[in-house]
Structure 1
Amino acid sequence: MPAVRSPSFALNHMVAPSLRPDAFFALCRKVGAAQAEIRNDLAGNAIIDGTPAAEIGSQARDAEVSLISINALQRFNDWTPAREAEAIELADYAKAAGAAALVLVPVNDGSGRADGERQQNIRTALRALKSILRDRGVLGLVEPLGFAACSLRSKHEAAEAITDIDGIGAFKLVHDTFHHHLAGEPALFADMTGLVHISGVTDKDVQVDDMRDPHRVLVDENDRLDNVGQIRTLLSAGYAGPLSFEPFSPAVHTLEDPTRALADSIAFIRARL
């Protein structure tokens, strides 16, 4: 296969969720990742521990790390007054911290999946979010999930909704290699992709329909999701953004030295591209 453009890498705070933000940003620099994603779901850690956005932004700048996104506004396509208030709070935090985007994660509990209902729900949410995000200079990153219970599995439906509400420029897609594999949707939408999340599954016994977040490890030669193939196709189709590591496995979270493991995974991916 011909070589493709060498990608840039980023780290999602989920690679080492017990690290405080300053240590996490230092980890980014150690592995050569100049971009990072912060999260609002890490118990006892920023953002939900009350750490001011300005402090997070300052720590990132001190480490010479740029903030890609806050991950995430959950259940974004179940639009309610409470969701609107949460969206405003997170968008304000993103602006104050200097984070470029807010990841938007759909309902994933089996509800809102009916044909017609799910398409309407995403359009309602995106219309409301467009002005909230635009007024703060924050991009919306829509992340379809591959789980059968998810109300938005298809990137095609997400792309259609973004186009229908005149959201090009306000929203882009997240291509998550794990969720793309689970959804079984062939289309990649590289031109509408603003971020790629990468993680691998190496457990030989788990069936695709039974794959869950705890199976998600760093990408290596035992990966079953064809991360390298997905990345190659995205890069060949023009995607020029970062590849952000997002493993959820406790086996990764408890590593004594995540620096070495991340460096090895980066080297593996680069060598095969």
Structure 2
Amino acid sequence: MPPLTFALNHMTAPALTLDAFFALAVSLGMTAVEIRNDLDGNAILDGTTPVEVKALAERHGVTIISINALQRFNEWSPARAAEARDLIGYAGACGARALVLVPKNDGTGQADGERQENLRESLAALKPLLDAAGITGLVEPLGFEICSLRSKREAVEAIRDVGGERTFRLVHDTFHHHLAGEPDLFADLTGLVHISGVEDPAVSVSDMRDGHRVLVGPQDRLGNISQIKALLAAGYAGPFSFEPFSPVVHKTADPKAAIAESVAFVRESI
């Protein structure tokens, strides 16, 4: 079984500057980090240049495994193409290895036939852009019932249809995997795993949202430990990246201690 390695997504501590976030990761013994383009007042939205981000990463000795994310990637348009070129260019210049691709999640584009066609169009358009930059496209199906791409199987079929097996990988998100209810793992095509837990006993699965997502602990309802074990047994050897969205996690006084406790719990449970 491959070794268990962890990464840190900036969403774990979004109030920290990029410098402080990288330092937090290193203090936890992690050298893989994910940066985001959706944090107000922080890199990338604050105008921090990719050259500055690359220098920060090198100073801390961390690898930027992804930028999260190109939103609504499966709704292709000239504006989306321009956004994709900008983000891929930023990723290349800051040393990021991959760009996360998030589907539209507003109840549109869900019709059978339409959603598959839209997905293939976008992947086919993204492939040459990513290949030219040497950047991996990380396709992340979302489990929400209103999402236009819930199925990892559909994502895999589309990737193969466009000859994108060397360009694209899946994101297996333990939260979204549980919500989607799709048993297949596709570990061989998985490039990144996002982990978070839900502990609220009152919320139904269909009502679970990002705000419920906390660090993985013994009260988790998503089956993180069984998912992680299954992925490792199937040969997944990449990082497991912490991505909690809950304000409870974001407001914790000692994020290092909270994350370290979750790391210890996962390690002891595997």
TM-score bin, normalised by smaller chain: over 0.9
Map Cα deviations across residues 26-82 of structure 1 (whole Å, 9 max, x no partner): 000011111000000001110011000011111011111100000000000000000
CA shift for structure 1 position 216: 0.1
**1:186 corresponds to which of 183, 188, 198:** 183
Three-state SS of the structure 2 residue aligned to 1:133 is helix
Residue 146 of structure 1 deviates from its aligned partner by 0.1
Compute the TM-score of the two structures, normalised by the length of structure 2.
Answer: 0.99
> 1:124-146: per-residue Cα shift (whole Å, max 9, x none)?
00000000111011000000000
Asked if 1:269 is matched to 2:257, the reply is no
Amino acid at match of 1:172: R
Partner amino acid for 1:72?
A
One-letter code aligned to 1:137:
G
1:251 aligned partner: 248
In structure 2, distance between residues paired with 1:17 and 1:191: 31
Q: Does 1:8 align with 2:5?
A: yes
2:138 maps to what in 1?
A: 141
RMSD over equivalenced CA pairs, Å: 0.5
Q: Hey, what's the Cα distance between the residues in 2 that align with 1:51 and 1:162?
A: 33
The 5 Å alignment of 1:142-161 reads 142-161=139-158
Q: Which residue of 2 aligns with 1:53?
A: 50
What letter matches 2:229 in structure 1? R
Alpha-carbon distance between aligned partners in 2 of 1:110 and 1:61, rounded to the nearest angstrom = 41
Where do residues 87-102 of structure 1 align in structure 2 (5 Å cutoff)? Answer: 87-102=84-99
State the secondary structure of the residue aligned to 2:218: coil
Partners of 1:153 and 1:94 lie apart in 2 by: 26
Aligned to 1:84: 81
Give the AA of the match of 1:226: G
Structure 1, residues 194-239: CA drift from partner, whole Å, max 9, x if none?
0000000000110000000000000000000010100000001000
Q: Deviations over 1:67-118 (max 9, x none)?
A: 0000000000000000000000000000000000000000100000000000
State the 1:5 CA deviation: 3.7
**Please, what TM-score do these two structures have when normalized by structure 1?**
0.98
User: In the TM superposition, what is the alpha-carbon distance from 1:248 to its structure 2 partner?
Assistant: 0.2
Whether 1:199 and 2:196 are equivalent positions in the alignment is yes
Measured in 1, the distance between the counterparts of 2:231 and 2:261 equals 22
Q: 2:128 aligns with which of 127, 131, 144?
A: 131
In 1, Cα distance between equivalents of 2:47 and 2:250:
23
Q: Where do 4+ consecutive residues of structure 1 move more than 3 Å?
A: none
Q: Deviations over 1:152-209 (max 9, x none)?
A: 0000000000000000010000000000000000000000000000000000110000
Identity %: 63
- 1:40 partnered with 2:37: yes
Q: Which amino acid aligns with 1:236?
A: A
- The answer to whether the 8 Å contact 1:6/1:270 transfers is no
- The residue aligned with 2:221 is 224
Instruction: Output the CA distance in 2 between the equivalents of 1:76 and 1:129.
Output: 9
For 1:49, the aligned partner's letter is: D
- Output the amino acid matched with 1:48: L
DSSP-derived class of the 1:135 partner: helix
Q: Distance in 1 between matches of 2:199 and 2:29?
A: 25
